Structure 1
Amino acid sequence: MRRPSVTRVRKMLLEEKQRLQADRARLLDDQSDRPDADYTAGIEDDGGADLMELERTRALVMTIDSMLIQIEKALLRVEAGTYGICEVCGKPIAAARLTSIPSAAMCITCQSRYEA
């Protein structure tokens, strides 16, 4: 498998960033339609379903924020000319990994060690 070109990588990362920012904005907009007071006021009535939904939304926003940070770091690596090089061992990251996870900062071996 060929390594993606820098231009293609930058485009993919920017598109993913834009999509995530839109998802984040939509989640926050949906959440703002119901102020926190509304969530806590109805806890006794519905068994806390509204509070659970609020927590779910907050968790999703935190996940999106983390993904956006990874994309920003990948864009910085593209600009620095270090994109596609494992930050741990310094070896090239497999093209298949970069295609499936464009923001990958580690090769699969180092990522597996990190997660263990």
Structure 2
Amino acid sequence: MAEAPKTAEPTGPRRSESETRELREALTERLEELEAERETHIADMAAAQRERLADSAGDDQVDAGSKTVEHEQELTVVRSITDRINQMHRALERLEVGDYGICEKCGKPIPAARLAVFPSATLCVDCKQLEESR
């Protein structure tokens, strides 16, 4: 007889259902804020691009270069927000499997103070410092 596949046991701290629900709500709320922020930036960026195109008659190389730099800065902001959105999705996935709040490198709990400031943290302070020193 074939053995039933084993489900992975959560490795993170045991949380009550209400703690997990509160965390999920907080992470989801932050995710929604980031998504709204990204949409606002995208809309602003589109409006600025339309304005730059309409106002480009007679531009010299410096004007064109300035507009390109502005556009690149706007894209950088949107990419940064998108990265944070992806991190929040990852945090929600980790919460569902029970790994939220556990360092991905050393397996130790990530301090609650760090998670309060950076809810999508995947590394404890020590491992993050090690990573940044490289």
Tell me the TM-score range normalised by the shorter chain. Answer: 0.7 to 0.9
- 2:38 alignment partner in structure 1: 24
- 1:76 alignment partner in structure 2: 93
Higher-Rg structure is: 2
The separation in 2 between residues aligned to 1:40 and 1:102, in whole angstroms, is 42
Which consecutive unaligned segments of at least 5 residues does structure 1 have? none
Which consecutive unaligned segments of at least 5 residues does structure 2 have? 1-14
Q: Percent identity at matched positions? A: 35
- Greater percentage in helix: 1
The number of residues matched between the two structures is 113
Deviations 1:56-90 (A, max 9, x none): 11000110111011101100000001111111100
SS at match of 1:79: helix
Normalising by structure 1, report the TM-score. Answer: 0.84
The separation in 2 between residues aligned to 1:39 and 1:27, in whole angstroms, is 20
Contact 2:52 2:67 in 1 (8 A): no
Normalising by structure 2, report the TM-score. Answer: 0.74
Contact 1:86 1:105 in 2 (8 A): yes
Letter in 2 for 1:23: E
